[in-house]
Chain A
Amino acid sequence: MTHYLSLYGLFLRQRFKILMEYRMNFLIGATSTIILQGASLLTITVVMSQIPHLNGWTLEAIFLIYGLITLAKSINHMFADNLWTIGGQYIRTGMFDRFLVRPVDPLFHLLADRFCHDGIGNFLVGSALVAYAWHALAIPLTVFNLIYLIVMVISGGLIFIALNLITAVSAFWVIESVPVTRAIFDNHLFAQYPLTIYPQAIGILLTWVIPYGFASFYPASYLLGQEVGLLAFLSPIVAIVLLSLSYRFWRFGLRHYAGTGS
């Protein structure tokens, strides 16, 4: 484990050397998401300023939900972006075969190969939203709440990574896995808003099938003092179960991988 951690540090240092060569691109990449998120957030603000609440949720409460999902997404974006590019960049080119003959876990190698700086923008947007909402909603700043927040954000990030991993395994058969991954990933957009505005079927889908709800809605409900029962604490368990399932599926896919011959 410590071996892998120090290895990751080495990969990261090399990656930043490359990124610093193109400083302007680094800055633009990191800020681009801020501008795009700004457009949606401004729109929500404009709409919310004309109604008292959205299905019982104030603007600040929606910012909390939106901020939590954005933070979870940014973890996936920064540390696991290669799950998007595995088909086009690694399997098609034969680069992936390189990982198979090295003395480290191929999945670790794939993820460590590229830290994605574009995710920093989402991390900043998410942090700012959560901090603002936390203050505006007067959520008590206790040690327990802070630990709760950190655990929930990491769990949310792992849920994103696990779902992307499951779908990325399809690359071993069809090479280009982005359409499959994207089709599942896009469902997180539902979880930018309170799940109560949707019909029950969508709520169940986002809780038990594609569980992005655990990355935003349930933790936010708990922090706001809404009654959601055990679901408020289930995120880490969901994340671990999903992650071990997806890793098993990854191993299964890897055994069936035969290379593209390129």
Chain B
Amino acid sequence: MNTLILRRHWRAFAGIAEMTPKFFLAYRAWVWLAFFSQGLSMTIFLFFWRAVYENTDQIGGLNLDQTLTYVLLAQVISLSVWTNVVSNMGHMVREGQIGVEFLRPIDFQWAQYLGGISQLAISLLLNLPLLGLALLYGAQLPTDVRVWIAFLVSLFLGYTVIFLFDWCIACLVFYTTEVWGLMVFLTGVSAFFSGVLIPLVMMPTWLQTIAAALPFSQVVFVPVGLLSGTIPLTEAPARWLTQLIWVIGLAIVSRICFQIASRKVTVQGG
């Protein structure tokens, strides 16, 4: 019995493992382009920050090496951390696929979440070449194993926060079917407040307060901050606790939203 399940799982994983290189080859040009584009922005960041530090030793308590480490790692990691929950849900509602999902004997939200987590892991692995570029440009990786653990835990929790937040937003598609405008708006807000562009500690206090009230920083600034040393290791437990509170709060809200919204569902023809 156990071996049977194990074998079945093994076959599923082997299938996925086989798919990945195929996917890579089929979209070769696009994959190279993604690397190229990201490498180009990292190059601009490198020279921009070098020019910034010509006139000063410290900004927001960070020196050039610390800032470069943070910014370059943020560029690599932030490629993987955003979910496509909202566009998926929109697609499923428009196509009528959502009805089928409701019939399945597994919890819809859990299934989507686990899919998202595995996508996160694959995407992080695929973007490893960019980590090489970041190191070449002067990013420094920690040698302390505890820092890596702190990073991975906070990345996992942060992803969960964003997944649940996006789930709440996705519930709106049951009412409007078109949330493109909202998505664009949120992309802009998250670009500024997540910490993809600068370490949030460089912002004036009032902007940092707004950033803390929004969920986006949990998935970029907190994990990348821990990995780059911008946030000291001793703060890790407090950060995890904050993330956990976000997770619990948003988990409850997202379940309620979905309960209410899914009653509203009218599949359009399908």
Contact = CB atoms under 8 A, between A and B. Distances in A.
Interface residues of A, number: 34
16 contacts: A32-B181, A35-B185, A35-B188, A36-B188, A38-B192, A39-B192, A39-B197, A42-B192, A43-B197, A179-B29, A182-B37, A183-B33, A189-B41, A193-B44, A193-B48, A198-B47
Between A176, A178, A183, the greatest number of chain B beta carbons within 10 A of the residue's beta carbon is seen for: A183
B191 A36 contact: yes
A197 B48 contact: yes
Between A38, A52, A198, A199, the greatest number of chain B beta carbons within 10 A of the residue's beta carbon is seen for: A198
A55 B55 CA distance: 8
Interface string A186-200: 110110010001110
Contacts of A35: 184-185, 187-189
B44 A190 contact: yes
Interface stretch (B104-112, B201-209, B262-270): B201-209
A228 to B, nearest CB: 19
B133 to A, nearest CB: 15
A46 to B, nearest CB: 6
B194 to A, nearest CB: 10
Interface in B165-182: 178, 180-181
B59 A187 contact: no
A183 B36 contact: yes
B13 interface: no
B10 interface: no
Contact of A187 (B32, B40, B191): B40
A189 B55 contact: no
A28 B36 CA distance: 29
A42 B211 CA distance: 14
Given A39-B191, A50-B202, A186-B36, A197 B30 contact: no
Contact of A24 (B181, B184, B204): B181
Given A46-B203, A54-B52, A28 B192 contact: no
Given A186-B40, A193-B48, A197-B48, A47 B202 contact: yes
Contacts of B51: 54-55, 197
Given A46-B203, A54-B51, A179 B188 contact: no
Contacts of B60: 50
Counting contact residues on chain B (CB < 8 A from A), the size range is 35 or more
Contacts of A187: 40
Contacts of A55: 51, 54
A40 interface: yes
A87 to B, nearest CB: 11
B56 interface: yes
B184 A36 contact: yes
Given A38-B188, A47-B202, A179-B32, A28 B181 contact: yes
A49 B204 CA distance: 10
A28 B44 contact: no
A43 B198 contact: yes
Contacts of A32: 181, 184, 188
Interface string A22-58: 0011001000100110111011001100111111000
A35 B185 CA distance: 7
A179 B202 contact: no
Given A52-B55, A189-B41, A197 B188 contact: no
Contacts of B54: 55
